[in-house]
Structure formats: C-alpha cells, structure tokens
Copies of this chain bind each other. A is one copy, B any other.
Amino acid sequence: MNKGLKEIESITIIGRGNVAWLYSDIMTKQGLSVNCISSRGEIRGDDLCSDLIIIAVSDKAIVEVAKKLEIGDSIIVHTSGTVDIGVLRARAKNFGVFYPLQTISKGIELDFSTIPLCIEGSDEEIFSLLKNLADKLSKKVYKISSVQRQAIHIAAVFANNFTNHLFGIAKQELEKNDIPFDILFPLISQTIEKIKENNPFEVQTGPAKRNDIPVMEKHKLRLGEDEREIYQLLSEKIIKQNEVLKK
C-alpha cells in the first residue's frame, strides 16, 4: 500500500471458488479494477501491485498461498469464516478479513447488497479502507473480530447448514407419501417470520415442546434409523430447553 492510500481501487483475487467468483463479479460491476488469478498457477510480481489482494481459497490453503506471495505494501485479506486474522501477520504489514456471510452456490442469483460483510483490519487505517470498499458493495457491513467471526460461522452452521438438512428430510418424508414439498412452504415462511420477531426458544411449538410422548413415539416408528436418531436427539433438547425456560 502506498502510504496515504485514500481508497482501494485495484484488486487481485486469488482463487477459483464461489467466493472468488462472487467478489470478482460484484467488484467488476462496481467499476473497480479486478484481476483474477488461480492459486495453483504462477503468481507474477505484477499481480501483487494491486491495492488489495484477496485470498479466496479454502481455509487450509490460506497460509500456503500467502507464503507464495511477496506482498510489500498491498493490503492482503482472506475471506474465511473461521481462520484468525493473525495467520496473515507473518506475511504482510497490512492485512485483514473480508468475510461474506452467505451461502454461495455458483449460478444461484444473489442480491449482493443484502449480504452482510464482516470486516476486520490489522489497524484502524486498514479497517477504514476495507470498510470503505465494503460499503460500496453491501448495505450491511459489520466490524467483527476473529472471535466473533467464529461465533457467526458456528451460528450459520446451525441456522443454514443444519436446517437445510432437516428440510431435506421433510421433503423426503413427504415425497414417500406422494405429497408435494410445497405444502410446507407457508409453514416454513411463518417459522422464519416468527423467529425474526421473537426468541425462537420462547415460541417453540410441537410434540416435544408439549412433551407429548405418544405422538413422538408414533412418529419415531414411522422414521428410518437416521431420521429417528435426529428426531430423538432434537426432541430431547427441546424438552430440556423448555424446562430451562420454565425456571
């Protein structure tokens, strides 16, 4: 980074995954100068003269890729939900994190302006430069420490990855009985509306919440082994949570 850099204007993105694709797409649309390179190919000195270098590779490859770079004054960031900002310290003077909190699948349309961007900088000046860039891309920019980012990633696993699997089971149980999955969409939408306005634990409903043992037993009899194990564990945890609430 040239001392006194006012704004990030040129960006090199290293990686070929979903995040690299997304950032490249959206930054190009914003009129920024974007240069995309693969982490596997040779990285030339020119590639590293950009104001910002984004390492958008898998968590375990971040350090390895960073080691290949002679970074100089550029700012270098990674895009991971779990990796500490500190892993870049040995490689650069100016570094940070630029983490998009979203589930990205190539080809599925996203309104990027609503994606929360979680920003961290090695110092206040770097943070400001990154925030400035982020504000051009999204309406939801958050200052998030590495510890907080890990908590967000864990929360996202529960709220996105795990719920997705449960929706998969729901669809499967319906289709076994010739019922279209979309019969559940109004219920799913309402579940989401409810948790936006309320503490989910306080608006819990269903057989486990009522500790309705005959219904739960009936359900378990109809499920396959994998689904039954999930049913059993989550029902137990709902019952337990409900007891905590009552206290």
Q: Contact: B108 with A215, CB < 8 Å?
A: no
Q: Contact: B158 with A170, CB < 8 Å?
A: yes
Q: Contact: B199 with A148, CB < 8 Å?
A: no
A116: chain B residues within 8 A (beta carbon) = 183, 186-187
Choose among B60, B194, B200 the residue that contacts A165 (Cβ–Cβ < 8 A).
Answer: B200
Residue of chain B at shortest CB distance from A168: B200
Chain B's nearest CB lies how many Å from the CB of A143? Answer: 11
A32: chain B residues within 8 A (beta carbon) = none
Q: Give the oligomeric copy count.
A: 2
Choose among B60, B144, B150, B188 the residue that contacts A222 (Cβ–Cβ < 8 A).
Answer: B150
Choose among B148, B155, B179, B230 the residue that contacts A148 (Cβ–Cβ < 8 A).
Answer: B179
Give residues of chain A (176-208) contacting chain B, Cβ–Cβ below 8 Å.
176-179, 182-192, 194-196, 199-201, 203-208
Q: Is A219 an interface residue (CB 8 A)?
A: yes
Give residues of chain A (214-247) contacting chain B, Cβ–Cβ below 8 Å.
214-215, 218-219, 222-223, 226-227, 229-231, 233-234, 237-238, 240-241
Chain B's nearest CB lies how many Å from the CB of A27? Answer: 19
Choose among B114, B173, B212 the residue that contacts A154 (Cβ–Cβ < 8 A).
Answer: B173
In Å, the complex CA distance between A26 and B115 comes to: 38
Q: Is A152 an interface residue (CB 8 A)?
A: yes
A229: chain B residues within 8 A (beta carbon) = 233, 237
A187: chain B residues within 8 A (beta carbon) = 101-103, 116, 156, 159-160
Chain B's nearest CB lies how many Å from the CB of A197? Answer: 8
Q: Contact: A159 with B167, CB < 8 Å?
A: yes
Name the residue among A151, A196, A199 with the largest chain B CB count within 10 angstroms.
A151
Q: Is A5 an interface residue (CB 8 A)?
A: no
In Å, the complex CA distance between A196 and B192 comes to: 14
Q: Contact: A196 with B205, CB < 8 Å?
A: no
Chain B's nearest CB lies how many Å from the CB of A181? Answer: 8
Q: Chain A, 138-162, contact with B by CB distance < 8 Å: what is the 0/1 string?
A: 0010101001101111111111111
In Å, the complex CA distance between A58 and B185 comes to: 25
Q: Contact: B158 with A173, CB < 8 Å?
A: yes
Q: Contact: B161 with A204, CB < 8 Å?
A: yes
In Å, the complex CA distance between A29 and B206 comes to: 27
Q: Contact: A110 with B190, CB < 8 Å?
A: yes
